[in-house]
Each structure stands twice: as structure tokens, then as C-alpha cells.
Amino acid sequence: MNASMLSYILLSCLLLSVQAQYCGVREIIRYTQLLLDDSSVSCPCRQTATSSGHELACFVDGTKHLKENTPFNRVIERLSRTFQAQLDRSLCKRLAHSDQCQYETKGNVKEFLKKILTTYQKIEKFNA
């Protein structure tokens, strides 16, 4: 194995390890705050389970539900794609990756968005 091949392998491993930790925390916080400020976004949403291990699956389900019950909104679309990518690729190791969300109660969109916001603010604080 020559030096250039070894360098390529090391760089690839480094990029994969960085990507595995990618949560898009700042992006998700920014999108969530935009949606909280947007009074036109509303729907009957399921509130996420408080037991850990299901948060990401709940965020995926909740944003899908928002997309289906809200006129097209670019921010909801981006947020939904980000959560789905995190779940599909096992990104953001700070959140457990269960395939199914266990809902406790019905809530409103503001409660759902606040749950997303506080979850990712905790991750941001932990990473700081």
C-alpha cells in the first residue's frame, strides 16, 4: 500500500466519522424557530413520546403530518427531509434511532415544534 492510498483511506474514515455525527443542529433550530414564528402553520399534531429512543422517529412522523396538513411550506419540507435523512443514514448519534414513534397524547403544532427546539438546543449545548 503506498502513501497516497493510505492518505485517501484515512481521509475517507475521517469524513465518515464527521458525517456520522452530523445533526444539522443549527439548521434545525433555525427552521423550528421560523415555524414557531409563523402563525399560518397549524394542524392537530401528535405530541412526541417522552421516553427516549423514539424522538427522531416522532420528528419524522410529525413533520410528515405537518406537510400533509399545511399548504406547501419550504421550511417544513426542509425540516422533514433533514429528519428523514438523519433517520435513514443513522446520523446524529445524540438521538436514538428507533423505527417507530410511540405517541403519548395529541398536541398542537406549537408544542410539537417546541419539543423539537428543546431537543436540538440540548444537543447544541452538549456539543459546545
Total-model pTM: 0.70
Distances (CA, A) of 14 to 26, 31, 82, 92: 22, 28, 22, 16
Question: By three-state DSSP, how is residue 82 classified?
Answer: helix
pLDDT tens-digit series, residues 50-72: 455 568 888 888 898 888 888 88
- 81 pLDDT band, cuts 50/70/90, is very high
Which of 49, 48, 43 shows the shortest CA–CA distance to 109? 43
For residue 49, is pLDDT > 50? no
Q: Which residues, 6 or more positions from 93, have their beta carbon under 8 angstroms from its beta carbon?
A: 20, 21
Q: What is the CATH number that goes with domain 3-127?
A: 1.20.1250
For residue 13, is pLDDT > 70? no
